[in-house]
Chain A
Amino acid sequence: MPWGSVLKEALKNVFSKSVTVNYPVVKVEAPNGFRGILEFDVKKCLGCGTCARVCPTNVIVMVPCEKTRLKKAPKFELSKCVFCGSCVEVCPTKAISFSKNFHTAVLKKEEIGISP
């Protein structure tokens, strides 16, 4: 039995294009339907608080807010978010949605929160 059975494949790969992407320099586009950082539109929000009740990691806390009908709005602490999408699924007015942004690295965790 021979040594070096992968030699042919290895030589082929030496001359082919690199499969890795030089990420911070080359921008990477997320596919459609990607579950990125949450986006919140306070104009659509009713203030019902269903999102806060279904969230598995207690990301969402309802705080007083004058802009919504029920005078309450969700405050997102996104450093805890697991991107499950429960809040997006249950929101009756589609006020919460996913963005394609996956850059969650920040210096202070308050930087990626959303307050109404």
Chain B
Amino acid sequence: MSVRIPIGPIHPMLKEPINLTFYVEGETIVDAEPNIGFVHRGIEKLAENKTWFQNLYLLEKVCGICSSSHQGCYAQGAEKVFEVEPPEKALFIRTLMWELERLHSHLLWLGVIMHEIGFDTLFMYTWRDREAVMDLVEMISGRRVGYSINTIGGVRRDIDYNILVKTIDVANFIASRAEYYERIVLSERTILDRTEGVGYLSKADAIRLNTVGPTARASGVKRDVRYNMPYAIYDETPFDIVFDDGCDVLARIIVRIREMIISAEIIKWIVFNMPKTGEIKQKVTPFTKPPENEAISRVEAPRGELFYYLKSKGDLKPERVKIRTPTLANIVSIIHMVKGHYIADIPPIVAGIDPCMSCMDRVVIVDVNKEKKTVWSHEELWRYSIKWYKKNYLMVREERR
């Protein structure tokens, strides 16, 4: 039997190392090479040594931002393995958490991309607004991060009437703020100069490279698991898929901002249509053994399609847990996005796919003509890009016209 060493699922995460090699001619990038897998934590293997219920809290730690997507996706798959049907109210609460998570993830990302282009004022505003959602999820689940709301066969906590009222307030607040941000992004010259036409990924390339989530939708590809393959209660929920034909970083910003408005609408629909009474979980105990079975589960995480494969051999522990995170699908598209752009455009392009990794750990720049290798930290690259644009923005603007 051959031994295969899995790469992932952990590498494409926020604040985690990735090595990107860019080949440049002068200021222009001619090629790029991402090297991933520096923080391989072995979670898939560890999941085989823990019970089905213990894995709920382990797999939540795959990602700190989309923890509920991971846990919910696993729980959804495990329900297929256990052959139990979660009650309707549980699905409503689970979906509510997914949408709240999308709100705060997109707000976080919006702050990060604004920070990358040097617009720290908007970074402060988005992160301040994000606190409203964080306080709400803390009230619902008891924790700001790692909500642990899902379990196999339903959810663990019911939602109070008072909290539902607050949810409506928060959804309205975020929707109004998102509209304000959309207005700012489309009118502010500083943002347009740094994002319009940067990181171009054509529709054909987006399909060919199997990009997922907002990255694909910003290139005009209608790819959304909620829409194409409805799970939980998304087949009943009325919502429109958001997409843009801009294909650049600006389009990625606009898609995410509009998605926040749609998410706020979904949240309001969920609150108004949630069953008032009813069970929130099926009777599955931590010592229930599942039948011999296998299942796949897909969820639209804030960053794109999240995929789980689960296999059971009728034991308390799963035989195999396979995870594919959205960033792994998107990371290759960076190579195509950066080609032909300036070094100063690297931070917004890389941050543009929301790589669950706020900083490129280290960037190696190889000048093809001089064959000189310099290693830059993310901080240095960020400072360089802002300084470069201050000096050359008139030239760039002329060129893009």
Task: Please give the residue numbers on chain A whose beta carbons come within 8 Å of chain B beta carbons, in ascending order.
Answer: 1-6, 9-10, 19, 31-35, 53-57, 82-86, 89-90, 98
Q: A6-B122, A19-B131, A85-B156 given as contacts; is B142 within 8 A of A34 (CB)?
A: yes
23 chain-A/chain-B pairs, Cβ below 8 angstroms: A2-B188, A2-B189, A3-B188, A5-B188, A6-B121, A6-B122, A6-B125, A6-B184, A9-B125, A31-B139, A34-B142, A35-B141, A53-B287, A54-B53, A54-B54, A56-B50, A56-B53, A56-B55, A56-B56, A84-B148, A85-B148, A86-B53, A89-B156
Chain A residues whose CB sits within 8 angstroms of the CB of B156 once the complex forms: 85, 89
Interface string of B173-197 (1 = CB under 8 A from A): 0000000100110011110100000
Contact B54–A56 (Cβ < 8 Å) = yes
Interface string of B30-65 (1 = CB under 8 A from A): 000000000000000000001101111110010000
Q: How far is the CA of A10 from the CA of B122 in the complex (A)?
A: 9
Is there a chain A Cβ closer than 8 Å to B292's Cβ? no
Q: How far is the CA of A60 from the CA of B304 in the complex (A)?
A: 37
Q: How far is the CA of A92 from the CA of B121 in the complex (A)?
A: 52
Is there a chain A Cβ closer than 8 Å to B128's Cβ? yes
Q: How far is the CA of A53 from the CA of B57 in the complex (A)?
A: 14
Chain B residues whose CB sits within 8 angstroms of the CB of A1 once the complex forms: 187-189, 192
The minimal Cβ–Cβ distance linking A88 to chain B, given in whole angstroms, is 10
Contact A31–B138 (Cβ < 8 Å) = yes
Q: How far is the CA of A85 from the CA of B192 in the complex (A)?
A: 47
Chain B residues whose CB sits within 8 angstroms of the CB of A83 once the complex forms: 142-143, 146, 148
Contact A86–B146 (Cβ < 8 Å) = no
Q: How far is the CA of A82 from the CA of B142 in the complex (A)?
A: 12
Chain A residues whose CB sits within 8 angstroms of the CB of B128 once the complex forms: 19
Contact B58–A33 (Cβ < 8 Å) = no
Is there a chain A Cβ closer than 8 Å to B6's Cβ? no
Task: Please give the residue numbers on chain B whose beta carbons come within 8 Å of chain A beta carbons, in ascending order.
Answer: 50-51, 53-58, 61, 121-122, 125, 128, 131, 135, 138-139, 141-143, 146, 148, 156-157, 180, 183-184, 187-190, 192, 285-287
Q: How far is the CA of A75 from the CA of B320 in the complex (A)?
A: 32
Q: A31-B138, A33-B157 given as contacts; is B131 within 8 A of A6 (CB)?
A: no
Contact of B184 among A5, A85, A90 (CB under 8 A): A5
The minimal Cβ–Cβ distance linking B67 to chain A, given in whole angstroms, is 11
The minimal Cβ–Cβ distance linking B111 to chain A, given in whole angstroms, is 13
Q: How far is the CA of A9 from the CA of B183 in the complex (A)?
A: 13
The minimal Cβ–Cβ distance linking A34 to chain B, given in whole angstroms, is 5
Contact A33–B190 (Cβ < 8 Å) = no
Top-9 shortest CB links A-B: A56-B54, A35-B142, A84-B57, A5-B188, A56-B57, A31-B139, A54-B286, A33-B142, A84-B148
Chain B residues whose CB sits within 8 angstroms of the CB of A84 once the complex forms: 56-57, 146, 148
The minimal Cβ–Cβ distance linking A38 to chain B, given in whole angstroms, is 13
Chain A residues whose CB sits within 8 angstroms of the CB of B184 once the complex forms: 5-6
Q: How far is the CA of A35 from the CA of B142 in the complex (A)?
A: 5
Most buried by B among A5, A10, A32, A54: A5
Q: How far is the CA of A47 from the CA of B127 in the complex (A)?
A: 46
Q: How far is the CA of A43 from the CA of B187 in the complex (A)?
A: 65
Contact B286–A86 (Cβ < 8 Å) = yes
Q: How far is the CA of A61 from the CA of B58 in the complex (A)?
A: 19
Chain B residues whose CB sits within 8 angstroms of the CB of A34 once the complex forms: 138, 142-143
A82: nearest residue on chain B (CB-CB)?
B57
Chain B residues whose CB sits within 8 angstroms of the CB of A3 once the complex forms: 188-190
B162: nearest residue on chain A (CB-CB)?
A32
Chain A residues whose CB sits within 8 angstroms of the CB of B122 once the complex forms: 6
Contact of A10 among B55, B121, B142, B192 (CB under 8 A): B121
Q: How far is the CA of A86 from the CA of B135 in the complex (A)?
A: 23
Chain A residues whose CB sits within 8 angstroms of the CB of B286 once the complex forms: 53-54, 86, 90
Chain B residues whose CB sits within 8 angstroms of the CB of A54 once the complex forms: 51, 53-54, 286
Chain A residues whose CB sits within 8 angstroms of the CB of B180 once the complex forms: 9
Chain B residues whose CB sits within 8 angstroms of the CB of A32 once the complex forms: 139
Contact A35–B143 (Cβ < 8 Å) = yes
The minimal Cβ–Cβ distance linking A6 to chain B, given in whole angstroms, is 6
Most buried by B among A3, A9, A56: A56
Q: How far is the CA of A3 from the CA of B189 in the complex (A)?
A: 6
B124: nearest residue on chain A (CB-CB)?
A13
Q: How far is the CA of A74 from the CA of B271 in the complex (A)?
A: 40
A9: nearest residue on chain B (CB-CB)?
B125
Chain A residues whose CB sits within 8 angstroms of the CB of B157 once the complex forms: 33
B147: nearest residue on chain A (CB-CB)?
A35
Chain A residues whose CB sits within 8 angstroms of the CB of B139 once the complex forms: 31-33
